[in-house]
Amino acid sequence: MISEKEKGLGASWLLGCGLAALGAAAPSEAALVTLSGVFTNTTGAAVEKEFSHKIIVDETITNLNVFGDVSLVVTDFNRNGASITAPAGQLYSGWINGAKVASFAPANAPGGGFVLTAAARSLATFDSSYGSSAAPLAIASVLKPNDEIEVRLKFTVSAGDQVAYTATFNLVPGPSAACAALLAPWIGLHRRRRTENDS
């Protein structure tokens, strides 16, 4: 049987972990790198381009989670249509210290590649994301001061056309493992009490 003191202790653990989780999600304990620009292919042939932006972080983030997005606009400049293409897995990538930890490759072309096309004298847009601030994706990594994070875009632009691009790579802390460890005994006692009451 759980005493009133034990109930109070369990509630304190829950409250403490809730506060810790809120603190972990504070903006000061997150890292964000953003890439944006405009490229015009002034040649008479399709051109493959890779764009990247990197920053150095100044704090530690454990239990890393990630989310990000990509936006593209392709515009026909030579009145014969325009396109952006990328092989499977190469459109977007997020990196920590030169190691790829996230990729985003919407498969809308044969073979799992990506293609965005605009008709003659027009433009086409693409916007998509992976994870979110409310539901980021966990990765097996820790971010430390002076680590380098980077976001990259790689695609081919049709001859004579223009692309505007934006991409973000967000790293945020996940729930504290310590909280899970602290809650485990209380959860076990709570389950045992419910079982005893049910019998």
Residue 12 has pLDDT above 60, yes or no: no
**pLDDT score of 110:** 74
**pLDDT score of 177:** 44
Least confident of 52-61, 65-74, 155-164, 171-180: 171-180
pLDDT band at 109 (very low <50, low <70, confident <90, very high): confident
Interval 33-38 mean pLDDT: 98
Q: Which helix (H) or strand (E) holds 186?
A: helix 177-198
| pTM to 2 decimal places | 0.74
What rounded mean pLDDT belongs to the chain?
81
Contact between 81 and 38 under an 8 Å Cβ cutoff? The reply is no
Tokens for 188, please give them. 């076990």
Residues 6 or more apart from 193 whose CB is under 8 A from it? 1, 2
Residue 15 has pLDDT above 50, yes or no: no
Residue 23 has pLDDT above 60, yes or no: no
pLDDT band at 164 (very low <50, low <70, confident <90, very high): very high
CA angle 146, 141, 57 (to 5 degrees): 20
pLDDT band at 77 (very low <50, low <70, confident <90, very high): very high
Per-residue CA distances from 151 to 43, 80, 137 (Å): 26, 31, 16
